[in-house]
Amino acid sequence: MEAQYVIGIDLGTTNSVLAFARSGAEPPEVTVMEVPQLVNPGEVREQALLPSCLYLPGPADFAGASLTLPWGAEPGFVVGALARKRGAESAGRLVASAKSWLAHAGVDRTAALLPERAPEGVRKLSPVEASRRYLEHLRGAWDYRMTGAPFAEQRVLVTVPASFDATARELTLQAAEQAGYGEVTLLEEPQAAFYAWIERHPDWRERVNAGDLILVVDIGGGTTDFTLIEVTEKGGELALERIAVGDHILLGGDNMDLALARTIEGELAAKGARIDALQLQALWHNCRDAKEKLLDAQSNLRHAPVTILGKGTGLVGGAIKASLTSEHIERVIREGFFPPAGRAEGPQRQRRSAVQEIGLPYASDAAITRHLAGFLNSSRPGGALPARVLFNGGVLRAELIRERLTGVLNGWAAEAAASPVETLGGEDLMHAVARGAVYYGLARDGKGVRIRGGIPRTYYVGVETSLPAVPGMPAPLKFLTVAPFGMEEGSDVKIPNREFGLIVGEPAEFRLFSSTVRRNDDAGSMLDEVSPDLQELSPMDVSLDAEGGGVTPVSFETAVTETGMLQLWCVARDGRRWKLEFNVREKVKA
């Protein structure tokens, strides 16, 4: 059955959003869904943002059926606004920043790690399970709101940071599968944000020029992502091509909230009020709420209260009260995270202690402006200067931060005698990623503009020949073209009329080769001998599951995902399929 809707989900570090559009509507109208969620015990309200928070209640936290959701679910935990609210009072029971943990390659991301500092007796969840619970809530909310169009029958796109590694992407898909989702397409968040801008501006070709470099700066709760998109001209018409993506930078709103909390902690200590680790966690979450109130464009507040529950009877009457001010925001966030930086600078390497607590691998340099300089310097020979910039992410709702970043970019432009950068405005920073994912889903059906980003190499798989063994000499290889130069991300190809023997049920080695020079080898073509133009990637040791083992005849299918992964599928005659995945994205280190 053809899907009635295209659904885009921004599975965010701080908030998650669901947007949708009817598949056949002309013109398609993208809508952000109001998500039913608990805001107080027994009180459900529909809100456009679903806080990416999960609270694990104690036995006396909530009464009776006060956590029942409109679709009848009583999950035994709380997701959304009430979880965030209650977690600020009892941080040891709050799961937050699961997405950042999902990106942490230094831990077992399927292990029960969260809450990180849970008191004894509080059960923990894995980052995958927490992500699953958020996705599950969105599915339940959809089926409750959109009767007659079951979620499982719709086309779903979920966004991820451009810097997510292959494991984090795979675990995101795993969480979606566990949440009852069907087939899911992943899309990078900065690209989704730019698609949202295109969707809001059908006249986009009149707003940019051929040759323009467009910088997308995406600063969310957990990560900072940079992407460069070039405006090209083909056949007399403007087109878009993504040319650079920055590396993973675990630096965002969470860091800023903690910096504010540490600042308040220091001011309290100077007055003789000391707090412990759990109270600091609560202060961290309270500072986030206070910061958002101060940065709200509709607010004239200059200070916002923060309260921390006390421990015992001798601590400031059982509670500690402080105030976060606009001066804190300007000093700690603008000057600390967005200091003026030279165009030739890059992130600073800091000397670190040899023994560290296991935790998230946050960026050692908190200056986002220096990370940005490093990204632009590395993105092309001689560096790059954008003509235009698109801001995205909750952090960049703050005008003082957008102004600082624009000022830094214009300073670099002045040094190079270039024109000032133009800000691409008119975008909803909190909902853009989900809306852009919907637009991209429609664009795949020819109802919108695609950002191109073909792979910059040709890829080959080494195929061992079936010649008789020769003592002391390995069997020679042939080289099968599996991904031709320029193959578009989001496309796939079947290797026609060729079968090969695949070793299953025992350890074996896959050897992958690439070439930037051989640009005319079609998928399925075979090189009979090694060429000096080929470069070998790191071999992959695999053991493909199969009953009995041995050699199985297979054909190959290749797909390049929107997140820059080359998926090589080995397809047996009886329909069994094995997937191997390689990163083919030319990443830029910042």
> Are 579 and 369 within 8 A, CB to CB?
no
Size of the chain, expressed as the number of residues it contains: 590
Note the maximum CA span of the chain: 86
> Are 367 and 341 within 8 A, CB to CB?
yes
Residues 310 and 172 in one domain: no
Single residue among 291, 309, 337 that ends a domain in this structure: 337
Q: Return the SS3 of 199.
A: helix
Q: Which parts of the chain sit beneath pLDDT 50?
A: 313-317, 353-358, 588-590
Specify if 546 maps to a domain.
Answer: yes
Closest CA to 175 of 95, 84, 109: 109
Residues 257 and 163 in one domain: no
Whichever domain contains 267, its CATH number is 3.90.640.10
- Structure confidence at residue 585 (pLDDT): 61
Residues 280 and 153 in one domain: no
Residues 150 and 69 in one domain: yes
Residues 180 and 294 in one domain: no
Q: Identify the sign of the CA torsion 203, 205, 208, 213.
A: positive
- Structure confidence at residue 472 (pLDDT): 66
Specify if 393 maps to a domain.
Answer: no
**Residues 136-153 pLDDT 10s:** 999 999 999 999 999 999
Residues 177 and 275 in one domain: no
Between CA 21 and CA 147 the distance in angstroms is: 15
Backbone angles phi, psi at 375, to 5 degrees: -60, -50
> Are 557 and 538 within 8 A, CB to CB?
no
Single residue among 282, 307, 337 that ends a domain in this structure: 337
Copy the structure tokens of residue 49: 């943002």
Distance separating the N- and C-terminal Cα atoms of the chain? 45
What one-letter code names the amino acid at 523?
Answer: A
Residues 181 and 291 in one domain: no
Between CA 53 and CA 43 the distance in angstroms is: 17
- Structure confidence at residue 32 (pLDDT): 97
Specify if 534 maps to a domain.
Answer: yes
Residues 73 and 170 in one domain: yes
Whichever domain contains 86, its CATH number is 3.30.420.40
Residues 298 and 179 in one domain: no
Specify if 396 maps to a domain.
Answer: no
Specify if 121 maps to a domain.
Answer: yes
Instruction: Calculate ∠ Cα 288-290-293, nearest 5°.
Output: 110
Q: 22: which strand partners? A: 5
Give 512's Cβ-side CA count (13 Å radius): 19
Between CA 122 and CA 125 the distance in angstroms is: 10
Copy the structure tokens of residue 108: 């077992």
Between CA 498 and CA 36 the distance in angstroms is: 52
Q: Return the SS3 of 158.
A: strand
Residues 42 and 156 in one domain: yes
Between CA 268 and CA 287 the distance in angstroms is: 14
Between CA 388 and CA 386 the distance in angstroms is: 5
> Are 432 and 426 within 8 A, CB to CB?
no
Q: Are strands 224-234 and 213-219 parallel, antiparallel or unpaired?
A: antiparallel
Q: 72: which strand partners? A: none
Residues 53 and 172 in one domain: yes
**Residues 302-321 pLDDT 10s:** 989 988 877 654 444 467 88
> Are 290 and 306 within 8 A, CB to CB?
yes
Residues 34 and 177 in one domain: yes
**Residues 479-514 pLDDT 10s:** 999 999 888 878 899 987 889 998 888 888 888 898
Between CA 402 and CA 394 the distance in angstroms is: 11
Q: What pTM, to 2 d.p., does this model score?
A: 0.83
Closest CA to 54 of 23, 70, 76, 25: 76
Closest CA to 55 of 78, 81, 82: 78
Specify if 444 maps to a domain.
Answer: no
Single residue among 337, 365, 385 that ends a domain in this structure: 337
Domain span at residue 261 reads: 253-337
Q: Return the SS3 of 557.
A: strand
Between CA 554 and CA 503 the distance in angstroms is: 10
Specify if 361 maps to a domain.
Answer: no
Specify if 317 maps to a domain.
Answer: yes
Q: What is the number of structural domains in the chain?
A: 3
